[in-house]
């Protein structure tokens, strides 16, 4: 039971990475003669409204969803880790200010803001990113807070520890102390934050793509697959059930894994998903 989440996630990643490459199915091949078909030998899960195979689009969509969540997590843990370590190391007014900002970001119900920002055209706004980059950017911009809190909690009790004072005595600057002495102690908490963030960000991607603001067509993602299937709910329920089920299971697995890691690494105060 304890290994189930990790096993499921490993199998999912392998299937999503390898599946679309080896399956003899075309995720983009439109076939008007094969629209909304039920499961068959040629199409194990049936086809969507344009006659594209659902199974291969699910796997490819998983690749996109997981990739978006993974890159956003990487960025969010980077931002949050930096904010938290700086706040914890320097303390005082800088800590207070950074934590106020963190609280503000936590308190804002995010979805309306994400909708507003996702409507920005990155090219016209002068940002050197595509739509996918913008999506990852806004997810990370509103998802770094748990990493910041955990990193700060790890750094705060160490700022006056003997080994930190020794390093300072040898002339080490703040940047060196944070990188070489505090970061290793924050690695466990940050790993927990990353695992829980992965689950949360998969939901963000799903919601934004479902609203038509995330991954642009024709690329599938679990969210955009749901959006496409929405109108065919009555005729082809499997189109709706499958991507949502994968999302649900994957998020649950990441949450569970994060909880296990938290207990194993004895990280206090980590919680899954405070999304609005």
Partner 1 sequence: MARGAQVLALWVALSAGLFGLVHVLPGSPEAQLLAAHPELSADDVARVRALEGLDLPITTRYRCWLLGRNPACPRWPSRAGVLDGELGWSRLYQRPVRELLQERLPNTLALMGPALGISVLLSVLLGLLAATRQRWDRAVAWVVAVGLAMPAHWLGLLVILVFAVGLGWLPSGGVRGFDGGGRGAYLVLPVAVLSVYYVGRYTRYLRAALKEELGKPYLDTARAKGLSEAQVLLRHALPNALIPLLTVVAQSLPVLFSGALVVERVFAYPGMGLLIFESVEERDHLVAVTVFLIYAALTFVAAGVADVGYWLLDPRVRRRS
Distance of CA 61 to the CA centre of its chain: 14
Closest approach, Cβ 237 to partner 1, in A, equals 5
Mutual angle of helices 237-265 and 54-90, in 10-degree steps: 30
Q: Identify which of residues 162 and 234 has a Cβ nearer to partner 1 in the complex.
A: 234
Residue from 158, 187, 211, 216 in contact with partner 1 (CB under 8 A): 211
Sign of CA dihedral 132, 198, 85, 107: positive
Cα–Cα distance between 36 and 59 in angstroms, integer?
18
Closest approach, Cβ 178 to partner 1, in A, equals 30
Query: For residue 230, what is the DSSP state?
Result: G
Residue from 130, 184, 237, 264 in contact with partner 1 (CB under 8 A): 237
Contact between 203 and 247 under an 8 Å Cβ cutoff? The reply is yes
Q: Identify which of residues 163 and 230 has a Cβ nearer to partner 1 in the complex.
A: 230
217 burial via Cβ count (<10 Å: 0-12, 13-18, 19+): exposed
How many residues of this chain bind partner 1 (CB under 8 A)?
40
Give the residue from 193, 214, 164 showing the smallest Cα distance to 257: 193
Q: Identify which of residues 111 and 183 has a Cβ nearer to partner 1 in the complex.
A: 111
Enumerate residues 99-128 that contact partner 1 by CB under 8 A.
103, 106-109, 111-112, 115-116, 119-121, 124-125
List residues near partner 1 by CB under 8 A.
103, 106-109, 111-112, 115-116, 119-121, 124-125, 199, 203, 206-207, 210-211, 226, 230, 233-234, 237, 240-241, 244, 247-249, 251-252, 255-256, 271-274, 276
């Amino acid at each position: 039971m304890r290994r189930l989440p990790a096993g499921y996630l490993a199998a999912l990643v392998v299937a999503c990475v390898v599946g679309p490459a080896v399956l003899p199915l075309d995720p983009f091949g439109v076939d008007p003669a094969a629209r909304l078909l039920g499961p068959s030998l040629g199409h194990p899960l049936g086809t969507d409204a344009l006659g594209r195979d659902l199974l291969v689009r699910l796997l490819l969509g998983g690749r996109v969803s997981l990739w978006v969540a993974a890159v956003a997590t990487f960025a969010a843990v980077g931002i949050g880790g930096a904010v938290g370590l700086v706040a914890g190391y320097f303390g005082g007014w800088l800590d207070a200010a950074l934590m106020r900002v963190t609280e503000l970001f936590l308190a804002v119900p995010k979805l309306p803001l994400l909708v507003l920002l996702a409507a920005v055209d990155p090219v016209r706004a002068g940002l050197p990113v595509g739509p996918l980059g913008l999506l990852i950017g806004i997810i990370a911009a509103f998802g770094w807070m748990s990493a910041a809190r955990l990193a700060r909690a790890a750094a705060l009790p160490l700022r006056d520890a003997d080994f930190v004072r020794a390093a300072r005595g040898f002339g080490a600057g703040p940047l060196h102390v944070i990188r070489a002495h505090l970061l290793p102690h924050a690695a466990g908490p940050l790993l927990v934050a990353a695992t829980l963030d992965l689950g949360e960000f998969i939901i963000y991607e799903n919601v934004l793509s479902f609203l038509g603001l995330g991954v642009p067509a024709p690329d599938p993602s679990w969210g955009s697959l749901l959006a496409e299937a929405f109108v065919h709910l009555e005729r082809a329920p499997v189109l709706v059930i499958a991507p949502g089920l994968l999302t649900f299971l994957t998020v649950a697995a990441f949450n569970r894994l994060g909880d296990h890691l938290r207990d194993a690494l004895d990280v206090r105060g980590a919680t899954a998903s405070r999304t609005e």
